[in-house]
Amino acid sequence: MTKNAKRISATVLAAVVVMSLSGCSNWSKRDRNTAIGAGAGAIGGSVLTNGSGLGTIGGAAVGGIIGHHID
């Protein structure tokens, strides 16, 4: 996969995550923070590890945990 394709894929994934979270208006603030943290962590993990699946999953896990603890 070329760098441009990876960047486009990451942008599309981020847009899908943002749009899907907008449908979760009945979630508690903690649930929303967890989901947002997991999404941001997944994107960050993917970018930092050049698209590694393990890095993406690890980033999502760490981001979800951090988002869960933010008030």
pLDDT digits (tens, 9 = 90+) for 4-61: 888 888 888 888 887 876 776 788 889 889 988 999 999 999 999 998 889 999 999 9
What is the CB neighbour count within 10 angstroms for residue 47?
15
User: What is the spatial distance between Cα 34 and Cα 29, in angstroms, rounded to a whole number?
Assistant: 9
**Which DSSP symbol is given to 42?**
H
Q: With cut-offs at 50, 70 and 90, classify the pLDDT of residue 68.
A: very high
Tokens linked to 58: 């690890």
pLDDT of residue 1: 67
Helices (H) and strands (E) in the chain, counts: 3, 0
